[in-house]
Amino acid sequence: MKLPRRHALITGGAGFVGTNLAARLVEDGRRVVVLDSLARPGVEQNLRWLEETFGGSVTALRADVRDGSVLRAAIADADAVFHFAAQVAVTTSLESPLDDFDVNVHATVTLLEELRRLRRPVPILFTSTNKVYGTLPDVRVRRARQRWEPVDAHLRGHGVDELRPLDFCTPYGCSKGGADQYVLDYAKTFGLPAVVFRMSCIYGPHQHGTEDQGWVAHFLLRSLADERVTVYGDGAQVRDVLHVSDLVEAMLRVVDDIDTVSGLPFNVGGGPGNTLSLLQLLRMIEELEDEPLEVRFADERPGDQRWYVSDTARLREATGWEPSVDVSTGIASLHRWLGRRSADALTPVRAR
């Protein structure tokens, strides 16, 4: 397949974040190559939407990110690489640690080596996770109604910054953390223009949430299908949530300013102003649906954090970025989007 010259490459580009980024890039006049194995359920719908909406501005490569020859061809004329392809579930990593390592670490290093072969510098943005900080065992928390929160007032008001020591937990945390460190080291050792986003909870359109990943969309999808929601732990776990449109804006700002920020990790999320516990999300959904949800509680899962909120000060100071979509607006917007998608799926196709 002939690829367009001067394109942005998005590995895992048919996924939730990749789809939203690809759409924004094309709207900004860029050409995009999406590399995706389509292994994750639902992403084929995203790719179909991209192709139908943007036509020849999006080129799809259905391939595994571990295929070095495909990677080499895909980056040959790339002017930016967004590396999202990954094994994303803690539970899957516990079942298959070797596969988790192969996808998250080996494939990332393979991509870095291919970028290093190029005669021109091509920026790469790698999406890591807040799981690299482990379970935050030293952070004392207290229950405040429907939420856990830190006892420490500074941490409660600002969140976790990038000076927090890494503390990998579970094979998933180890593999994403290992890849995170490789990307940063290639920037330091080889001068590769590279940054890492350690992301909290991202939500928005084109998200096919599951119990393992994408809990905001997962809860909404369960509600729309009139199905029971399972909550692992007591439900008071708190995360900062960020609408995907704000994430995409942050990514573009960082890549545009790569000469200044290369080699830095950024904690990326909604920050202290956009936090949500699982219980609070359930109440929001009940208000949107105007009916109670059926909820089952199960044991807390390995590696879960009772509280995690990103301190986004480094990103704000480097780029001027701040979230623009508040929690209530964003959740209501995603509820409407998923509702329309569910209605379309139930609409019978009329014979012509």
SS (H, E, C) 314-334: HHHHHHCCCCCCCHHHHHHHH
Comparing CA positions, the residue from 86, 22, 80 lying closest to residue 51 is: 22
Comparing CA positions, the residue from 239, 303, 318 lying closest to residue 271 is: 239
* Single-letter residue type at 151: V
Contacting residues for 297 by C-beta, under 8 A, at least 6 apart: 230, 231, 232, 233, 234, 235
How far is the C-alpha of 10 from the C-alpha of 58, rounded, in Å? Answer: 11
Residue from 133, 172, 186, 203 carrying the catalytic annotation: 172
List Cα–Cα distances, 296 to 165, 218, 229, 232, in angstroms: 35, 14, 6, 9
Are 1 and 59 within 8 A, CB to CB?
yes
* Single-letter residue type at 134: G
Dihedral pair phi/psi, residue 131, rounded to 5°: -65, -15
List Cα–Cα distances, 203 to 155, 165, 243, 265, 296, in angstroms: 24, 26, 5, 21, 23
Are 244 and 205 within 8 A, CB to CB?
yes
How far is the C-alpha of 36 from the C-alpha of 125, rounded, in Å? Answer: 17
Residue 172 is a catalytic residue: yes
Active site residues: 172
